[in-house]
Chain A
Amino acid sequence: MNQLKLDQLAKGQRGRICKVEGEDGIAIRLMEMGLMNGEVVEYVGCAPFGQPSTYLTRGFRLALRPEESRRIEIEPIS
Chain B
Amino acid sequence: MTTTPPVTRTSQVALIGNPNTGKSTLFNNLAGLNTRTGNYPGVTVEKKVGRIHWDGIEIDLIDLPGTYSLSPRTPDEMVSVDVLMGHAPSIGEIDAVVCIADSTNLERNLYLVSQILDMGIPTILVLNMWDALKERKDEFNLADLRERLGIPVIPAVARKGTGSKEIKEALATLLRDKPKPKRLNVFPAPFNAAMEKVRGRLAETKSRPLAEYEIERLILDVNGSVERRCLTHTGPDFAEFLASVRQELAEQNCIVPRIESECRYQWAKSIMSGLFTRDDAVKPRSISDRIDGLLTHNVFGLIVFFGLMFLIIQTIITWADPFMGWCEFGQETVAGWIEASLAPGPLRSLLIDGVIAGVGGVLIFLPQIVFLFLFISVMEDCGYMSRAALMMDRFMRLFGLSGKSFLPLMSSFACAVPGVMAARVVENQRDRIVTMLIAPLMSCTARFPVYWLLTMTFVPSVVLFSIPMGGLAEGGGWDFTLPALVIFLMHLVGVVVAIPVAFLLKKTAFKGEASPFVMELPDYKWPSIRTVAFRVYDRAKAFVVRAGTLIFAATLVIWAAGYFPGDHAVQHELEARMESLDEETDSEQLAALEEEHQEISARLIETSFLGKAGHFIEPAVRPLGWDWKIGVGVVASFPAREVIIATLGTIYSLGGDVDEEDEGLRGALRESTWPDGSKVFNIPVALSIMVFFALCAQCVSTLMVIRRETNSWGWTIFSFSYMTILAYIAAFFTYQIGMLFVA
Binding site for B on A (CB under 8 A): 14, 20, 23-34, 36, 40, 42, 44-45, 47-52, 54, 56-65, 68
Contacts and interface: CB of A to CB of B under 8 A. Distances in A.
Given A26-B514, A49-B394, A68-B518, 19 more contacts: A27-B258, A31-B261, A32-B111, A33-B68, A33-B108, A34-B265, A36-B258, A44-B292, A47-B296, A49-B391, A54-B296, A61-B520, A62-B518, A62-B520, A62-B521, A63-B393, A63-B517, A63-B520, A64-B518
A40 B282 CA distance: 7
B269 to A, nearest CB: 10
Contact of A25 (B265, B513, B522): B513
A54 B292 contact: yes
Nearest 6 pairs between A and B by C-beta? A49-B394, A31-B261, A61-B521, A26-B516, A59-B283, A63-B519
A62 B520 CA distance: 5
A54 B521 contact: yes
A63 B282 contact: no
B302 interface: yes
A59 to B, nearest CB: 4
A25 to B, nearest CB: 5
A60 B108 contact: yes
A65 B393 CA distance: 9
B521 A63 contact: yes
A76 to B, nearest CB: 14
Contacts of A29: 68, 516, 518
B303 to A, nearest CB: 10
Given A32-B68, A58-B108, A60-B105, A52 B390 contact: yes
Interface string B359-402: 00000000000000000000000000010001101110000000
Given A49-B395, A57-B282, A30 B521 contact: no
Given A23-B257, A48-B298, A56-B282, A34 B107 contact: yes
A7 B562 CA distance: 61
Interface in B57-114: 68-69, 71, 73, 104-105, 107-108, 111
A25 B391 CA distance: 24
B282 A45 contact: no
Nearest to A50: B394
B301 interface: yes
- DSSP class of B's interface residues: helix, strand, loop or mixed? mixed
B289 interface: yes
A61 B296 CA distance: 13
Given A33-B518, A54-B390, A28 B296 contact: no
Nearest to A25: B513
B521 A58 contact: no
Interface in B511-532: 513-522
Contact of A30 (B288, B393, B516): B516
25 contacts: A14-B282, A23-B222, A23-B258, A25-B73, A25-B514, A25-B515, A26-B516, A32-B71, A33-B68, A34-B107, A34-B261, A45-B292, A45-B293, A47-B394, A48-B394, A49-B393, A52-B519, A54-B292, A59-B104, A59-B107, A60-B520, A60-B522, A63-B517, A63-B519, A65-B393
A68 B516 contact: yes
Residue among A31, A48, A49 with the most chain B CB within 10 A? A48
A19 B71 CA distance: 22
Contact of B393 (A28, A42, A51): A51
Nearest to A16: B281
B107 A62 contact: no
B394 A28 contact: no
A35 to B, nearest CB: 9
Given A23-B258, A32-B68, A65-B393, A52 B517 contact: yes
A30 B105 contact: no
Nearest to A66: B517
B265 A36 contact: yes
B390 to A, nearest CB: 5
Nearest to A59: B283
B9 to A, nearest CB: 35
B280 interface: yes
Contacts of A58: 105, 107-108, 281
A57 B104 CA distance: 13
B391 A34 contact: no
Nearest to B298: A48
A52 B630 CA distance: 48
Interface in B557-602: none
A24 B105 CA distance: 26
A56 B521 CA distance: 10
B282 A32 contact: no
A29 B292 CA distance: 25
B661 interface: no
Most chain B CB within 10 A, of A34, A51, A62, is at A34
Nearest to A29: B516
A10 to B, nearest CB: 16
A64 B519 CA distance: 7
B166 interface: no
Contact of A48 (B282, B391, B514): B391
Contacts of A57: 282
B262 interface: yes
Interface in B269-299: 280-283, 288-289, 292-293, 296-298
Contacts of A49: 391, 393-395
A21 to B, nearest CB: 11
Contacts of B258: 20, 23, 27-28, 31, 36
Contacts of B296: 45, 47-48, 54
A62 B517 CA distance: 10
Nearest to B386: A63
A40 B391 CA distance: 25
Contacts of A30: 516, 518
A22 B283 CA distance: 28
Contacts of B104: 59
A42 to B, nearest CB: 5
Given A42-B282, A59-B282, A68 B517 contact: yes
A36 B282 contact: no
A61 B521 CA distance: 5
